[in-house]
Chain A
Amino acid sequence: MRRVEPNALRPASAADGLPADAEQAALWAGFRTLLYKEVLRFWKVSFQTIAAPVLTGALYLLVFGHVLDRHVEAFQGVRYSAFLVPGLVMMSLLQNAFANSSSSLIQSKIMGNLVFVLLPPLSHLEFFAAYALSSMLRGVVVGLGVLAVTSFVALPPVGAPAWIVVFALLGAALLGVLGIIAGILSDKFDQLAAFQNFIIMPATFLSGVFYSVHSLAPFWQALSRLNPFFYMIDGFRYGFFAQSDVDPWQSLAVVTVALLAASAIAIGMLARGYKLRG
């Protein structure tokens, strides 16, 4: 540190204080900065956070499509590969939305740098919105990537595009919010891995990504209907084929309720500072 001092580092005086309306603007600036930081975080390691899951999605399609294309017809008149694409897109989107907020939080907790976000005057709602939105963005970017790559192999039709957008956004939001909850609850990487491996993975795999639930025995069909992931995949798939296992409006209702409930839990945790502010 230099001995010859440059300008004095004076603290802001009352005269420099922010007027009331500027404080309002500053409030959004804080949120925008946190959102920017969260997006920059995954963007800087996009090889791992975007390219890798896109490749995985493409591999699923190549392998399953190759093996099952001639044997399985999930929807009438639809090639299995084409049937599989929307499921894979949604699965990648959901898993990466979850991975984004949950891994960002657990890394910050373990590295200790979460303190940089806890010290500034950010409200719990700004915190929530920034983490949820950045997760949505990563989920959607990965989903688009998988769609772009798999469309070379099998291009599904686009029957009702509005549903595609609605379910992509709601699904990404729900998993981003679940990621916040898991990130807050976990203290160690292996606890987070347990969420990922024992809840998120089974729920996505058993949601009808690879099959239509109509092909299942009645018991497993009934069980599938208890899985919110099923409605996200099914509703999303409706946007392509204009046919689905359940009415898309029913799916919309289930996913919306799940999102509201998860958001209420996450916001409640953040407002109390649960596990974040001792």
Chain B
Amino acid sequence: MGTVPAIEAIQVVKRYPRVTALDGVTLRIEPGEFFGLLGPNGAGKTTLISIVAGLARATSGRVTVMGHDVVSDYRRARRCLGVVPQELVFDPFFTVRETLRIQSGYFGLRRNDDWIDEVIANLDLGPKADANMRSLSGGMKRRVLVAQALVHRPPVMVLDEPTAGVDVELRQGLWHFVRRLNKDGHTIVLTTHYLEEAQQMCGRIAMLRAGRIVAMAPTRELLARLSGIQLALKVRGALPAQLVPQLVEHSGDRYVLKVPQPADVESVLAACRTAGCQIEDLEVGHADLEDVFLQVMSDEARKAA
């Protein structure tokens, strides 16, 4: 590919004395993508982000941001990157505007007030611009964190679980804003526990487990992987034996079956009829990312066992 990747990680390993946090992660995120990084706690998402941001150093492997190595060319790499950290951190000594001016100055931009005003307006921080950080609500502090990540106009934005512990209204506002940033040309990398959000927002998703990427594909493909259709049946009597391979979930007399094509629903019903198994209730649905996620994670756990 001719374009410079927004973020590229090649065989990144991060070992701590007692644990291997990343075990050879390779991925490439293209400019303009909305990329999701999913995984259970301790999977290595934050470690990977920390290495991209220069907050941690890889034991081996290489990471670039917009083509700049995060170690040997860290100045350029960091200038291209805005990071919204997971924790709700702030400096209690300063006001919102001071915080943004100082952050901008760290990036070498000391006369940046026009842009800072723009960011303040966009995040609706205007009324609080001269308030001390301590006096802000959690939601407002979160917005300031987003603003801080934007002060140097980075082409790549990383958001590490930005909606953890955030109320519904703010979460939606935040997503609306981040989607706009993406539309305006920012590459967005997102880690989240809310799979529903990842499904709505991300064009492509990587799933991490125990420091390794276990699935990486466009969100649509990932969803298709677990079949297009799920058929939930409540039956009287045993499920016909030939349907057992399609079984995804089973509790009591309720069975969830994987069905490749809509037309195949009919063959499931026919099999039940032939076997004399009476259907009491029937529901047709689509797999969501949560199903894919659970499926991938349990497959991997089985492989590891």
Q: Is B29 an interface residue (CB 8 A)?
A: no
Q: Does A184 contact B (CB under 8 A)?
A: no
User: Could you tell me if A23 and B106 are in contact, using CB atoms closer than 8 angstroms?
Assistant: no
A278 to B81, CA, bound (A): 19
* Contacting residues, chain B, for A25 (C-beta < 8 A): 108
Contact B87 A112 (CB under 8 A): yes
Residue B220 lies at the interface, judged by CB distance under 8 Å to chain A: no
Shortest distance between the CB of A18 and any CB in chain B (Å): 7
A13 cross-chain contacts in B, Cβ below 8 A = 155
Q: Which residue of B lies closest to A22 (CB)?
A: B108
**Inter-subunit contact B184/A9 (CB<8 Å):** yes
Instruction: Please determine whether A44 and B106 come into contact, CB atoms closer than 8 angstroms.
Output: no
- One digit per residue, 1 when the CB lies within 8 angstroms of any chain B CB and 0 when it does not, for chain A 39-74 equals 011001100000000000000000000000000000
Contact of A120 among B85, B107, B185 (CB under 8 A): B107
Q: Are A7 and B118 in contact (CB under 8 A)?
A: yes
B209 within 8 A of A: no
Which residues of chain B from 108 to 124 have any CB-CB distance to chain A below 8 Å in the complex?
108-110, 118-119, 121-124
Give the nearest-CB partner of B156 in chain A. Answer: A11
Residues of A with C-beta under 8 A to B155: 11-13
Question: Which A residues between 106 and 162 are near B, CB-CB below 8 angstroms?
Answer: 108, 111-113, 115-123
Tell me if B89 and A30 are in contact (CB < 8 A). no
The stretch of B146-154, B229-237, B248-256, B279-287 in contact with A is B146-154
CB within 8 Å for A111 and B121 given contacts A10-B184, A36-B105: no
CA of A73 to CA of B98 in the docked complex: distance in angstroms? Answer: 52
Q: What is the bound-complex CA distance between A7 and B91, given in angstroms?
A: 28
The answer to whether A118 and B55 touch across the interface, beta carbons within 8 angstroms, is yes
Q: For A11, A29, A108, A278, which residue has the most chain B Cβ atoms within 10 angstroms?
A: A11
Partner among B56, B98, B105, B124 whose Cβ is within 8 Å of the Cβ of A278: B56
Q: Give CA–CA (A80, B106) in the complex, Å.
A: 48
Q: Chain A residues with Cβ under 8 A from B152's Cβ? A: 12, 120
User: Is B79 part of the contact surface with A, judged by Cβ < 8 Å?
Assistant: yes
Q: Which residues of B contact A12 (CB under 8 A)?
A: 152-155
Contact A6–B89 (Cβ < 8 Å): no
Residues of the A chain whose Cβ atoms lie less than 8 Å from the Cβ of B90: 111, 113
The interface on chain A, measured as residues whose beta carbon lies within 8 A of the other chain's beta carbons, has a size of 46
Contact B78 A121 (CB under 8 A): yes
Tell me, in angstroms, the Cα distance from A172 to B251 when the chains sit together. Answer: 72
Cβ-defined contact, A33 with B106, below 8 A: yes
- Once the chains bind, are B103 and A9 in contact (CB under 8 Å)? no
Interface-facing stretch out of B170-178, B191-199, B297-305: B170-178
* A5 to B121 CA separation, bound complex (whole angstroms): 9
Q: Is A190 an interface residue (CB 8 A)?
A: no
Chain A residues within 8 Å of B55, by CB: 115, 118-119, 277-278
Q: How far is the CA of A5 from the CA of B85 in the complex (A)?
A: 25
For B98, the closest partner residue in chain A by CB is: A40
Q: Are B78 and A120 in contact (CB under 8 A)?
A: yes
Contact B56 A116 (CB under 8 A): no
Partner of A118, one of B54, B81, B118: B54
Q: Which residues does chain A contribute within 8 Å of B122, judged by CB atoms?
A: 1-2, 5-6, 9
Q: Does A27 contact B (CB under 8 A)?
A: yes
Measured between C-beta atoms, what is the minimum distance from A171 to chain B in Å? 26
B75 within 8 Å of A (CB atoms): yes
Q: Is B102 an interface residue (CB 8 A)?
A: yes
Q: Of A3, A11, A111, A273, which contacts B154 at CB under 8 A?
A: A11
Tell whether, in the assembled complex, residue A8 and residue B89 are in contact, meaning their CB atoms are under 8 Å apart. Answer: no
Give the CA-CA distance A30 to B143 in the complex, in Å: 23
CB 8 Å contact bits of A85-122 with B (1 = contact, 0 = none): 00000000000000000000000100111011111111
Give the distance in Å from the alpha carbon of A54 to the alpha carbon of B106 in the complex.
32
Are B103 and A1 in contact (CB-based, < 8 A)? Answer: no
Q: Are A116 and B91 in touch, CB under 8 angstroms?
A: yes
Instruction: Give Cα A30 to B152, complex, Å.
Output: 12
Residues of B contacting A33 in the complex (Cβ-Cβ under 8 angstroms): 102, 105-106, 110
**A8-B184, A29-B105, A121-B107 given; A16·B78 CB < 8 A:** no
Nearest 10 A/B pairs, CB to CB: A26-B108, A33-B105, A120-B106, A1-B173, A112-B89, A121-B75, A12-B153, A11-B155, A278-B56, A121-B78
12 more A-B residue pairs beyond the given contacts A44-B94, A121-B76, A278-B56, with a C-beta to C-beta distance below 8 A: A1-B174, A16-B153, A27-B75, A30-B105, A32-B105, A32-B110, A45-B93, A118-B54, A119-B83, A121-B79, A121-B106, A277-B55
A-B contact pairs, 20 of them (CB 8 A): A1-B176, A5-B122, A6-B118, A8-B184, A9-B186, A11-B185, A12-B155, A26-B108, A30-B105, A30-B108, A37-B102, A44-B94, A45-B93, A115-B55, A119-B78, A119-B83, A120-B103, A121-B76, A121-B108, A277-B57
Residues of A within 8 A of B (CB): 1-3, 5-13, 16, 18, 22-23, 25-27, 29-30, 32-34, 36-37, 40-41, 44-45, 108, 111-113, 115-123, 273, 277-278
